[in-house]
Chains A and B, each alone.
Chain A
Amino acid sequence: MSINTATIAPRALSRPGARPHPLVRLIRHSLVLARRSLIGVVRNPEALIDVTLQPVIFIAMFTYIFGGAITGGSQHDYLQFLLPGILAQTIAFGGVAIGVNLNSDIEKGVFDRFRSLPIARAAPLVGAVLSDVVRYTLLCVVTLGFGYVLGFRAQTGVLEVVAACLLAIAFALCLCWAAVFVGMVARTPGAVQGIMFLVLFPLTFATGTFVPVDTLPSWLQSFTKINPLTHLVDALRGLLLGGPVASDVLWTLGWMAALLVAFVPLALRAYGRRV
């Protein structure tokens, strides 16, 4: 080690001018940390299985195993019916990874470093959520692309298809704050995954994704009416296959707002308290 004392001499860094606005710093720090997460994804591509292979397997499995039985013959008809729902389901599950990753960051002590730095408090969480946009976008491309290969055809225009993807991504960005919160409070990364799966399985199956809602018992139908995933599935179906969407889109946006209002403060508070 060559000794060059100037390298470590404590003195104020020449920081450019006055401190920027706190919101500017939050955005800037979040982007730096989002970039960190993305480098992690590139170095560790198996972390993308949940947004690439999972929708592929779900589409193929349901179309070819259950499709014939459910529609009484036509697997193509079932694919048309199924695909918007699979998009909603897999993008909801895509948020689990963020909670798992944040939990293991805390366990490894990486967050101690961030929390000892003079950065915007929420930046590590916001940065992680921002980087998930890339994962969700990839999921939309894979789901629609694989569906197209199997014969799925959107019945609407390009604008509606793009709108469907944007709605799904935006919904996932709100829902993943629940996973962030669980990631802050659960004891181990495995527990985060367990808790999130326990919540997401009923939420994503008690919808019109796999079967028409009117085939369900009435008590379950009452639940599907308030289930946020039902409205997302129906909104995506409308945007991809045509039909009225306004009511379901509004319901979905309402649920997105509710998820943010509930889980962002909870997650930030748990993050601040986590020892």
Chain B
Amino acid sequence: MLSTVTTSTGKAETMDYAIEAEGLLKRYGETQALAGVDLRARPGSVLGVLGPNGAGKTTAVRILATLIRADGGTARVGGFDVVREPAQVRETIGLTGQYASVDELLTGEQNLTMIGQLLDLSRRQARARARELLTWFDLEAAAGRPARTYSGGMRRRLDLAASLVGRPAVVFLDEPTTGLDPSKREEMWRVIRDLVADGSTVLLTTQYLDEADALADEITVIDRGTVVAHDTPQALKRVVGGQRLTVRPADPARLSETAAIIGAIAGAPPERHDAGTTSVPVDGDAALAEAVSRLAEADIAVTELSLHLPSLDDVFFQLTGHDTTDAADAAPELIEEVGGTTREADHALHPVAGVVQ
């Protein structure tokens, strides 16, 4: 539905991208939050913007959602310029912030009805729309309760529902699953997939590679306000190697020997870590069984043996040569600036496929 739009001049033109940003710049005091960021999302696709805390993800979303102005660069959403045509952009978008921004004193239904009325629906229409969304988000039973009594997962769902009242063609989801437990994350992923199946364009920011991998058609990796990679999830994972095999020998003196063995299995140079572990990128989980038998043959006892997807930290190490924590440290002001309250960055949430102890 987004392939053609009517511009303010009344002329219909083909739109290649539902979201298109070029060279975005934004500075907060001493911190260069964005140092020339390009983002592009085709209509009906999901763009994952991956980066650690303080990388500039939220700043970019706020510029695209017309909440703040960039110091430089241009951005168009749904074919409209965010600076010159903010009203049209706001007609096009839905925004779900990092920190659920529902009114705590209003009930779930009152929250959604209010948004509907602000979108110029009649009171009756707004209530009907609210009920429809409450049902869809499985919040019917809690519809009459103030939002402050909701659990974290329910708040996120209400917040997402609030951003969908106007059936936006472009939806911004700023870290929609940060702080949710794994089952609630899966639930959120399902909702996001349905959104896209219906033709919305979604820009999703996340700190989790597995989340971007599960949802995004293309991923832009941001670090310290610059784009360090843009590719499909498959291509990005090829850069860092699909899965990684990590081994910790019981005797630290045998680390080199261990590294040589798993290096031979993977056919790739093993990486040695300070913590007494060594890891290699591997294809498929056959490597796990092979490692078990080869290490047994060599009589090397291990205290940890795991097969896991690369974490955001691994991606960052590969792409930038430094850890994600550096970026977060570099911009503490920004974190405070954008979030109000700072939450712990928990990058370490990568699923472990198999652990042998």
Contacts and interface: CB of A to CB of B under 8 A. Distances in A.
Interface of A: 1-5, 7-16, 19-20, 25, 28-29, 32-33, 35-36, 39-40, 43-44, 107-110, 112-119, 123, 275
A12 B66 CA distance: 20
Interface stretch (B100-108, B242-250, B324-332): B100-108
**Which residue, of A25, A28, A44, A110, has the highest number of chain B Cβ atoms within 10 A?**
A110
B118 A112 contact: no
B340 interface: yes
Interface in B179-227: 187, 190-191, 194-195, 197-200
A8 B167 contact: yes
B65 interface: yes
Contacts of A12: 167
B132 interface: yes
Contacts of B163: 113
Contacts of B191: 1
User: 6 closest Cβ contacts across the A-B interface?
Assistant: A109-B101, A118-B90, A116-B95, A40-B105, A7-B136, A43-B105
Chain A CB within 10 Å, residue with most, of B94, B138, B162, B190:
B94
A108 B340 contact: yes
Interface in B84-102: 87, 90-91, 93-95, 97, 99-102
A102 to B, nearest CB: 13
B68 A275 contact: yes
A8 B164 contact: yes
Nearest to A1: B138
A124 to B, nearest CB: 10
Interface stretch (B119-127, B286-294, B305-313): B119-127
Interface string B128-143: 0000110111100000
A191 to B, nearest CB: 14
Interface stretch (B34-42, B109-117, B254-262, B277-285): B109-117
26 contacts: A1-B187, A7-B133, A7-B135, A8-B167, A8-B195, A9-B198, A9-B199, A11-B167, A13-B167, A16-B120, A19-B120, A33-B114, A36-B114, A39-B110, A108-B101, A108-B340, A109-B101, A109-B340, A112-B62, A114-B118, A115-B66, A116-B67, A116-B95, A117-B115, A275-B62, A275-B337
Contacts of A40: 103, 105-106
Contacts of B137: 1
Contacts of A16: 120, 122
Given A1-B191, A4-B136, A112-B67, 9 more contacts: A1-B190, A2-B135, A5-B194, A8-B136, A10-B1, A25-B120, A109-B100, A113-B97, A116-B66
Counting contact residues on chain B (CB < 8 A from A), the size range is: 35 or more
Contact of B1 (A2, A11, A43): A11
B188 to A, nearest CB: 10
Contacts of A33: 114, 118
A10 B87 contact: no
A233 to B, nearest CB: 35
Contacts of B103: 36, 40, 110
Contact of B87 (A109, A114, A118, A275): A118
A108 B106 contact: no
Given A15-B121, A116-B65, A32 B114 contact: yes
Given A43-B146, A112-B95, A1 B136 contact: yes
A29 B340 contact: no
Given A108-B101, A113-B97, A116-B93, A10 B114 contact: no
A43 B144 CA distance: 13
B236 interface: no
A232 B199 CA distance: 59
Contacts of B90: 116-118
B337 to A, nearest CB: 7
A106 to B, nearest CB: 9
Nearest to A32: B117
B54 interface: no
A117 B198 CA distance: 21
B168 interface: yes
A3 B194 contact: yes
B166 interface: yes
Interface string B144-170: 001000000000000000111011110
B136 A113 contact: no
Nearest to B137: A1
B215 to A, nearest CB: 15
B121 A2 contact: no
A13 B66 CA distance: 21
A16 B116 CA distance: 13
Nearest to B86: A118
A13 B132 CA distance: 14
Nearest to A44: B105
Nearest to B197: A5
Contacts of A8: 136, 164, 167, 194-195, 198, 200
A13 B125 CA distance: 10
Contacts of B121: 13, 15
B32 to A, nearest CB: 15
Contacts of B115: 113, 117
A10 B198 contact: yes
A12 B168 CA distance: 8
Contacts of A20: 120
A272 to B, nearest CB: 10
Contact of A10 (B138, B167, B340): B167
A275 B66 CA distance: 11
A8 B114 CA distance: 18
